[in-house]
Amino acid sequence: MFPLSLSGFSNPKNFAMPSNLTIRDRTFEWGRRTYLMGVLNVTPDSFSDGGEFHSTAAALAQAQALQAAGADIIDVGGQSTRPGAEQITVSEELDRVLPVIQLLRQKITLPISVDTTRAEVAKAAIQVGADIVNDISGGTFDPEMLPAVAKLNVPIIIMHIRGNPQTMQKITDYQNLMEEISNFLARQIAAATAAGIDSEKIIIDPGIGFAKNYEQNLEIFRRLPELRKLNCPILVGPSRKSFIGRILDQPDPKARVWGTAAACCAAIFTGADILRVHDVHEMRDVCLVADAIFRQSS
């Protein structure tokens, strides 16, 4: 159970906030409000929306809907990272994401992130209009990723994971969950800066659902403030995930909107700066109310 007092939680304003980040003409003022990253999976097999936005026309329509609903970033991914997902070739991933990113860049003004673990895909995506690299491996799957991002001079999201999507749910035996997550992220932040990435362009993600079991996912929400010592903006991605389905006894990911809303509210309370979500319209309302309650007015 959560304690009755609020001593276990922390208003984000109580921390020294990372420096602001400007992407294109948008400035992200960390700590002032919660930002929303809208999910756009151009895959046939993602856990929640696989196959829905596989064509460029469908992807564009969804991206425009996400923008209209209040998204701050559109996250385009061509490789499913659900547990057990099959790895596709680099060529397949490029074929999926590049036409979509190129079209989005012509039609929408939001920053675009590319959700990939491959340096070749990251480079090609940035060249056609993406602005951010979102790497679920934190730069560990491809040794060329961190040097490539440094040369591209773009922000990177470094996520914690163990193993890969095929193996990750079998390796959840942590001695100290948050200490291991924090140490991993600290190592990858150091590796990123050593490769030449500006520390102000690094965002961290504890990796909800990636090599984490049910109890560990909940623990991350409770102990999220411990990651503030890394002095990076924090992204949390709880949207429609299986831990919510277990709590609600809801097997359909699309029916987990209210549960996602509760998880997003908890993440804001404990220090998240960005939420990666499918249901932007609903989560925008969550952010507006939670920010008004938990963040000090400027």
The reply to whether 240 belongs to the active site is no
Q: Say yes or no to pLDDT of 193 above 80.
A: yes
Instruction: For the chain, list the domains and their CATH numbers.
Output: 34-294 (3.20.20.20)
Q: Say yes or no to pLDDT of 225 above 60.
A: yes
Of 162, 240, 276, 284, the catalytic one is 276
Q: Say yes or no to pLDDT of 5 above 90.
A: no
Q: Say yes or no to pLDDT of 1 above 60.
A: no
Ramachandran bin of 212, using left for φ above 0, alpha for ψ from -120 to 50, beta for the remaining angles: beta
pLDDT of residue 298: 46
pLDDT in tens, 235-245: 999 999 999 99
Percent of the chain with pLDDT over 90: 82
pLDDT of residue 83: 78
Helices 90-107 and 119-127: crossing angle in degrees, nearest 10, is 20
- Give yes or no for a contact between 159 and 142, defined as CB atoms under 8 angstroms apart: no
Residue 139 φ/ψ, nearest 5 degrees: 85, 15
Name the average pLDDT for the chain: 91
Of 241, 246, 254, 295, the catalytic one is 241
Q: Say yes or no to pLDDT of 10 above 50.
A: no
- Give yes or no for a contact between 20 and 29, defined as CB atoms under 8 angstroms apart: yes
> pTM here?
0.92
The reply to whether 123 belongs to the active site is no
**What's the mean pLDDT in 142-157?**
98
Q: Say yes or no to pLDDT of 16 above 90.
A: no
Strand-pair partners of 39: 75
